[in-house]
Each structure stands twice: as C-alpha cells, then as structure tokens.
Amino acid sequence: MAKKVLKFGGTSVGTIERILHVAKIIKKENDAGNEVIAVVSAMSGKTNELLKQSKTISEDFDKRELDVLLASGEQVTSALLAGALIKFGINSKSWLNWQIPILTEGENSNARIINMSTSSINKFLSEKGVAIIPGFQGISKVGDITTIGRGGSDATAVAIAKIFDADLCEIYTDVDGVYSTDPNKIPVAKKIDKISYDEMLELSSLGAKVMQSSAVQTAMMYNIPLEVKSTFTARQGTKIFDQDSIDYTKSVTGVAYSKDDAKITLVGVQDKPGVAANIFEPLSKNQINVDMVIQNISSDQKTTDITFTIKREDLLKTIEILKSNKTIQYESLNHNDKVSKISIVGAGMVSTPGITYRMFRSLADEKINILAISTSEIKLSVIISEDDTLKAIKKLHTVFDLD
C-alpha cells in the first residue's frame, strides 16, 4: 500500500464526463489499497472566465477579492469530483483551503504554501477515504483566501506530497509525459521516459508548460518522486527523479522556447561600481523579473552597453522606470519586443565538448542571428528574432538527435 498524491489539471476535469473519468482513475487506485489525496484545478477555461468577469467590473479589481473569486473555480471541481466518487461507492470528501487549513504567506495572487494541518485528512485516509483538495490556494495568517499564481495546483500537489510524506506525486494532464519539445509544433518530438529534477526545472522555467517550475523546485529540494502522465491514455508517463540518476551519456534532453520575451539595451552607460545595481534594483522593487544580462565594455573602459531580457508584458513599465531613474546615465535606450528565447537543456552537456559550437553553427546555417546568449551547466539559451522561432526549434531538434 502506498500514499499517493494525484493532481488533475484543468483539461483533465474540463467537463462532467472527464470528471467521471478521473473518478474512475482514483477508484482504481483506491481499490488497489492505496491512500489517495487528489488535488484538482478549476475546469479548463473557468479561471479565465472569472478573470473576465472581474474586469467587466474594474480593470483594477481589488486583489483580495480577486483571490476569493478565482479560488472558487477549484472549489467547484473539488465538490463535483467528491460527488462522482461517492456515486461510485467510494468514501470521499472535499476539503476547502480554510477547512484544512492550507497556510500561506505572501501577497495576494502570489502567495506560497508554508504548512497545513494533516490530522483530520490522515484519519480520513486511514478509514479508506479519498480526500479531495483544491489546488492553487490557501489562507493567510489573517484569515484571507490567497492564491499562489497561475499553474499553482502543481505547487499545491507537491507541497501536500511533502507535508503528508507521500510515496509518489503523479501529475495528470492532457499529454502522456514530457516531450523533447512542443509536440504541437514539432510532430517528431518524442516523449522522455526519465528526466532529472534539474533538467525538468530548466525546461519548465524556459517555457515548457507541462509543470510549474516552483513545483519542480520543491520536489527537487525534498526529493519527492514525480511522474507526469496522461489522464486519457494508459501509457507510461515521464518519471522525474534525483540528481544521482541522471543519464550523462545524453548530451541534450530537450529544446524549449518562449515567445513572450523582450530585449532592452542601454547604450553608453557610465562604467563605475554600483551602476548595475542602480539599474536593476528599481526593477526588482517593481516585481519585474530580469532574465539574461550581457555587458560589453568599450575599448576605453569608460562606458559599457548593458543588454537584458524581461517578459514582454513588463516592457513599457521597465522603460518608464529606466527613463525616470536619475541615478544612471546612458547615451540611448533601445528595445525589441519581437524576440523569442530558444534553449537546449541536458545533463550531459557539461561533459560533452562542442555543444555550444554545434548550436551556434546550426543557427548560422539557417541564417538565424543570435541577439543574446546565456549559459549554465545544463542549459544554453539564445535570444533570436521571433520570426525564426519554429525554424530554430526544428533545426536544433534534428542536430541533437531528438527527432
């Protein structure tokens, strides 16, 4: 007998028929003698529908009330799934975030789970009950409902697996695992049977939408076994495991991309200690995440050009902050919001010579210009023109034998 956390995404519970199908998956686990905690997302499209409703009232809808509104989507799914299980003769019960409670800290729409009570749910599990918990939400120390960001049901599931000391956390979605790149764009993409936490963390943070990166990070910190699998097929999924099990013989595991980036260059910045801090500190205070940073010092070592990337939605706000920043001096500010980030990820990159050359040569052969570069031990990312995205993915996928 094992204790399992099963997380079902929005597409898995998108209709009543699908909720009934999910109930059958859970029933099978329960019949096998496993203790099951199911974590559910809102039905697909529901969160966007609720957001739209809030904007019809105000474009600046109160954040506290927005969290109350958005949290209702997962609560609806919880009740429907518990009801479906009861229909199938399974002892099941839904818990809302405040009933457990799931304790969070941080601001509305971006809180994080810090703890939760386990006694009542563990007692229910010991009585062969199936517990249904809404993902994406919790309750603050002052009793306010909070949400933990889009895609936060993954983070909820992993946190529950940690706190309840589960043997396995399974992430059910509409694909049967993690692929070497987006199979919707590249039909020859292949499913990855096993991947390390490190590789999965890089892929998820770089745009692969199978799992939320914060959930992978938590699983890696506490060595929680993960498996991504399909709700709709019985095929084996992708197992995500610890560093000791990495296959170093494979140089590149996958190709990821994101098309929501923008690039900013400050030309002729005065080169002196503290300049970089003066540029990026106001951005940090305004919750703007900076990704790649490249600095080129002039030959006379008096000025420097600083290039960095941000999310496209933050471009106008970033430009406004930079132009109003009186602590920095520069000759001009250039920006480009028609760029994308292409990345190759693989644990074997660190021990395989020539990966960087092969990537750059491949892009050059396709006449794709590289605008910025960022590297780590298991990742190599470049910024290119958005128009070249698909061509770059196809080329790299072929060059690194991922087809």
Q: Which of 77, 74, 137, 150 is nearest to 102 (CA)?
A: 137
Q: Which helix (H) or strand (E) holds 276?
A: helix 275-285
Sequential pLDDT tens for the chain (403 residues): 899 999 999 999 999 999 999 999 999 999 999 999 999 999 999 999 999 999 999 999 999 999 999 999 999 999 999 999 999 999 999 999 999 999 999 989 889 999 999 999 999 999 999 999 999 999 999 999 999 977 789 999 999 999 999 999 999 998 888 888 888 788 888 888 888 888 888 887 765 667 888 888 888 888 899 999 999 998 899 999 876 656 666 788 899 888 889 999 999 998 888 989 999 999 999 989 898 898 887 767 788 999 999 999 999 999 999 999 999 999 999 999 999 999 999 888 877 888 999 999 999 999 999 998 888 888 899 999 999 999 999 999 999 988 8
CATH 3.10.20.30 fits 255-399, yes or no: no
pLDDT at 196: 87
For residue 170, what pLDDT is reported? 96
Distance CA 328, CA 345 (A): 36
According to DSSP, the residues that pair with 372 across neighbouring strands are 383
What is residue 351's predicted lDDT score, i.e. its pLDDT?
77
Listed residue (396, 7, 26) closest to 215, CA to CA = 7
At 299 the pLDDT is 67
Domain with CATH 3.40.1160.10 in the chain: 3-174
Task: Output the pLDDT for position 350.
Answer: 76
Q: Name 15's Cβ contacts closer than 8 Å, sequence gap at least 6.
A: 43
The alpha helices in 95-140, defined as continuous H runs, are 119-126
pLDDT of residue 123: 96
Q: What angle separates helix 315-323 from helix 275-285, to the nearest 10 degrees? A: 130
First to last CA, the chain: 39
User: pLDDT at position 59, please?
Assistant: 92
Please state which of the four CATH numbers 3.40.50.300, 3.40.1160.10, 3.40.50.720, 2.60.40.420 is assigned to the domain occupying 3-174. 3.40.1160.10
For the record, the structure tokens of 10 come out as: 């929005």
Domain with CATH 3.30.2130.10 in the chain: 255-399
> How far are the Cα atoms of 220, 264, 323, 330 from residue 303, in angstroms, in the given order?
42, 17, 18, 9
**CA 55 to each of CA 50, 62, 149, 400: distance values in angstroms, whole numbers, following the listed order:** 9, 10, 18, 45
Check residue 66 and give its pLDDT: 96
Question: CB atoms < 10 A from the CB of 169, how many?
Answer: 27
**For position 301, what pLDDT does the model report?**
75
Residue 255 and residue 206: Cα distance in Å, rounded? 9
Say what the pLDDT of residue 184 is: 79
Q: Are 268 and 331 in contact (CB under 8 A)?
A: yes
Token pair listed for 394: 């196809």
The whole model's pTM is what?
0.80
Q: Is 379 exposed, middle or buried (0-12, 13-18, 19+ CB in 10 A)?
A: buried
